[in-house]
Structure 1
Amino acid sequence: MNAALPPSFRVRAVLIDLDGTLVDSVQDLAAAANAMLAEYGRAALAVDTVRSYVGRGIANLVQRCFGSEPVPEGALAAFRRHYRQTNGRQAHVYPGVIEGLQAMRALGLPLACVTNKAEAFVPPLLDAMGLAGFFDLLVCGDTVPRVKPDPLPLLHACERFAVAPQEALMIGDSLNDVRAARAAGCPVICVPYGYSEGRSLQAADCDAIVPTLAAAARLLVPVHS
């Protein structure tokens, strides 16, 4: 491939992360986390601190909120209770997301949202953001037994779409997405604006870094059987 040219991806399906890729939901997550911490007499956390905890599912976020201390009994249920109230309230769709999803649909590509967020919170958030109608499949943090960076969620989506992993592009914002894609055998591109657990993504980590989902769509070459 000519290094001066942008890469292109011949694909039959696209798998897309949610938090930090499609939607900036950190304000809602931080509100729920701090409401949970208040119940246990703990100090509130800065939004940027909570941002660095996002990516490996709710149980991991709750654990990190308590640092090295054991998670109190009932804390996970408390977070879920508060997040049901805050989910979608201050979240917003990132620039270029709607245009990118529209372009991918126009190419005739099936789309899956593959997220570590628990299923109870995914459809309400997608509905609130006006994104639900774009997706043919949701693979959530409790759809299969393991979450990203394990490859199982991606492999499950590929199986449901009846495509080989190398024919399904993963789009995400973090090393969790990259590692899951590499382990599954999927090509992977990343957006630079997400959470990534406080670690910056490097071009060497993935097949491309694009500024928006709209830019990602311009790299796709659909393959239809």
Structure 2
Amino acid sequence: MLKALIFDMDGTLVHSDPIHLRAFAEVLGPQGVAIDDEIYHSTIIGRTNPAIFASLLPHLGVEDHEAFADEKEAAFRRLALDLEPLAGLMEVLDWAKAQGIKIALVTNAPRLNADHMLDVLGLASYFPVQITIDQVERGKPDPLPYLTALERLGVRADEAIAFEDSPSGMKAAKGAGIYSFGVLTGLSAGEMMKAGADATLADFHDAGLWNLLKQKSAA
């Protein structure tokens, strides 16, 4: 029986990738690192900041990477002021709430970003359980963030559904044993299925999603 829905944040609750790209470009441009769609998708999407900055600024040390990461996240929060939930998301959240289905957030973003984005989107009250990168020893693609969410929700993996938009996030969700939808805000259905998605959706109006939600909630 379905007892919980677990959502990634960036690219899943909201199509925020273009804003992240702008923030990375703003911070890294003066360092001679050009950020375009290709670099964003190959090097940035779904990865943790330490891994991203180690790849893009390999000549610098960990302290510099951390400083650039903080600068980039501050730039993102400054730019991310006009966000809208992905189409159909509110219907899913309201339906889950009415059904008594638990809801959680699992993100590689820092707590400051999660608080900012949920506040701008008006969604904070929907996510009593929030797992951010600050709370776990290992971020996605490790399954630990999802395993932590399952523990805090008090549900088994087979009682939950996850939503992810990146290969690393999908690997984490599937590594925790959760049925997972790939959200197609940045990658193709083929790319998300290759990453392990059980199914894909363009937005939360997807008929296949609703059929599964109703089927599992009635089980």
TM-score tier (shorter):
0.7 to 0.9
| Residue identity opposite 1:127 in structure 2 | D
Larger displacement relative to structure 2 (111-120 or 27-36): 27-36
Deviations 1:108-153 (A, max 9, x none): 2111010111122111111112221211211011211011221111
TM-score, normalised relative to structure 2: 0.82
SS at match of 2:141: coil
Tell me the distance in 1 between the aligned counterparts of 2:107 and 2:26. 24
SS at match of 2:6: strand
Tell me the distance in 1 between the aligned counterparts of 2:142 and 2:33. 33
Tell me the distance in 1 between the aligned counterparts of 2:7 and 2:29. 34
Equivalent residue number for residue 219 of structure 1? 212
Deviations 1:12-64 (A, max 9, x none): 11111111111122233223222322443x14322553244120222223234
Tell me the distance in 2 between the aligned counterparts of 1:153 and 1:98. 24
Question: Are residues 12 and 148 of structure 1, via their aligned partners in 2, closer, same or farther at CA, if it must alter by over 3 Å?
Answer: same
Tell me the distance in 2 between the aligned counterparts of 1:206 and 1:44. 31
**After superposition, where does 1:99-114 map in structure 2 within 5 Å?**
99-114=91-106
Deviations 1:194-215 (A, max 9, x none): 358xx82227832222232243
- Cα deviation, residue 76, structure 1: 2.9
Higher relative contact order (CA 8 A, sep 6+): 1
RMSD of aligned residue pairs (Cα, Å): 2.7
- Structure with a larger share of its residues in helix: 2
The number of equivalent residue pairs is 211
Which of 59, 76, 79 matches 1:86?
Answer: 76
Larger displacement relative to structure 2 (165-174 or 205-214): 205-214
Equivalent residue number for residue 6 of structure 1? none
- Cα deviation, residue 174, structure 1: 2.3
- Identity rate, percent: 29
TM-score, normalised relative to structure 1: 0.80
Question: Structure 1 segments of 4 or more deviating over 4 A?
Answer: none
Residue 202 (str. 1) matches residue 193 (str. 2): yes
Structure 1 stretches lacking a partner, 5+ long: 1-9
Question: Are residues 146 and 217 of structure 1, via their aligned partners in 2, closer, same or farther at CA, if it must alter by over 3 Å?
Answer: farther
Equivalent residue number for residue 63 of structure 1? 54
Larger displacement relative to structure 2 (86-95 or 161-170): 86-95
- Cα deviation, residue 92, structure 1: 3.9
**After superposition, where does 1:58-207 map in structure 2 within 5 Å?**
58-66=49-57, 69-71=58-60, 73-87=63-77, 88-89=80-81, 91-195=83-187, 200-202=191-193, 205-207=196-198
